[in-house]
């Protein structure tokens, strides 16, 4: 039987959990589809993705380092992707046009607010990092009603540029990493954990009521989460839930069916032995 084809594009992509997640969603919902991991050459994401869609592909996820190029490839995009300048989901429309979406921020918010019961409204949220992942979550964090969102990044100019891009949506500012304020919710959107490193944490940033969240996921607590616990953080969580939630939103965009995420998350937790995104 012919089934609809989907894929995740990245470089590298071999350790991606997305094929497993979407296979579990498909079984759960009875949707007939296949989902594979495709490693595109660093210099030819567009050609590889075009070939996939020309051969019958219906939709794709896009991960590091191609989220910006996914925007360039698409004919249209949703408002979240447009503002972030990055897309993690592509959908082929009936007329052959490609639409780009960014589901990372929706995934983060659902994980924090629904799975982890970490309310964001009226909180001081500090976001470490100013790359594609950070850009994708700022608008959903601001629309969650945070009191303020402060961005700190190793390269401060990138944090300042991000803050000004979203300034009309709410109280978002950039600060030097050494001066970041005490955080109710501290989100690590840097790639430091992938190298076993911890980004600089300002004195007083982590305190006894801090919820520390690392977008990277791993079988054991990441160095960032371990350090936050040492500094007295009340709670700590990695990004596996965000990965599953952003995947569920992509599945809904493609199929019009919303899978249940809790059983998938429960099945994946013991297998999350990779620190690769998506």
Per CB under 6 A, 277 contacts ligand NDP: yes
- Verify whether residue 27 is a known catalytic residue: no
Q: How far is the CB of 182 from ligand NDP (least distance, A)?
A: 20
Per CB under 6 A, 129 contacts ligand NDP: yes
Give the H/E segment covering residue 230. Answer: helix 223-230
Per CB under 6 A, 250 contacts ligand NDP: no
Q: What is the DSSP letter of 67?
A: H
CA dihedral sign of residues 109, 110, 116, 117: positive
The residue number whose beta carbon is nearest to ligand NDP equals 131
Q: What is the DSSP letter of 180?
A: P
Angle at 70 between CA 65 and CA 72, to 5 degrees: 120
Q: What is the DSSP letter of 55?
A: T
Q: Which is nearer to ligand NDP, 120 or 189 (CB)?
A: 189
Q: How many residues does the chain have?
A: 278
Q: Which residues, 6+ apart, have CB-to-CB distance to 146 below 8 Å?
A: 120, 121, 122, 123, 124, 125, 170, 171, 185
User: How is the beta sheet containing 57-62 ordered, strand by strand?
Assistant: 33-39, 4-10, 57-62, 89-92, 98-101, 76-77
Per-residue interface string for the shown chain with ligand NDP, residues 135-174, x marking contact by CB under 6 A: ------------------xxx--x----------------
Q: Which of 8, 16, 57, 67 is catalytic?
A: 67
Among 18, 89, 246, 261, binds ligand NDP (CB under 6 A): 246
Per-residue interface string for the shown chain with ligand NDP, residues 202-241, x marking contact by CB under 6 A: -------------xxx---------------------x--
Q: What span, in angstroms and rounded, lies between the C-alpha atoms of 194 and 217?
A: 9
Q: How far is the CB of 97 from ligand NDP (least distance, A)?
A: 25
Q: Which is nearer to ligand NDP, 20 or 209 (CB)?
A: 20
Residues that bind ligand NDP (CB under 6 A): 64, 104, 107, 129-134, 153-155, 158, 189-192, 194-195, 197, 199, 215-217, 239, 242-243, 246, 277
Task: List the catalytic residues.
Answer: 67
């Amino acid at each position: 039987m012919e089934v609809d084809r989907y894929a995740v594009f990245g470089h590298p992509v071999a350790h991606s959990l997305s094929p497993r997640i979407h296979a579990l969603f498909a079984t759960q919902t009875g949707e007939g589809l296949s989902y594979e991991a495709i490693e595109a050459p660093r210099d030819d994401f567009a050609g590889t993705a075009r070939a996939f869609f020309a051969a019958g592909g219906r939709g794709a996820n896009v991960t590091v380092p191609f989220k910006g190029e996914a925007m360039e490839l698409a004919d249209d995009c949703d408002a979240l992707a447009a503002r972030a300048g990055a897309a993690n989901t592509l959908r082929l429309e009936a007329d052959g046009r490609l639409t780009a979406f960014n589901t990372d921020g929706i995934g983060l918010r659902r994980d924090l607010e629904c799975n982890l019961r970490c309310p964001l409204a009226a909180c001081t949220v500090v976001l470490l990092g100013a790359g594609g992942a950070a850009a994708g979550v700022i608008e959903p964090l601001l629309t969650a009603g945070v009191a303020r969102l402060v961005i700190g990044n190793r390269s401060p100019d990138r944090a300042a540029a991000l803050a000004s891009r979203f300034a009309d949506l709410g109280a978002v500012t950039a600060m030097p990493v050494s001066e970041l304020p005490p955080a109710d919710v501290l989100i690590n959107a840097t790639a430091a954990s992938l190298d076993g490193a911890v980004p600089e944490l300002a004195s007083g940033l982590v305190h006894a009521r801090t919820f520390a969240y690392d977008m990277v996921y791993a079988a054991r607590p990441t160095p960032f989460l371990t350090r936050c616990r040492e500094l007295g953080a009340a709670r700590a969580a990695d990004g596996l839930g965000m990965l599953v939630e952003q995947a569920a939103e992509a599945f809904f965009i493609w199929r019009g069916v919303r899978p249940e995420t809790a059983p998938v998350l429960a099945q994946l937790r013991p297998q999350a032995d990779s620190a690769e995104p998506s």
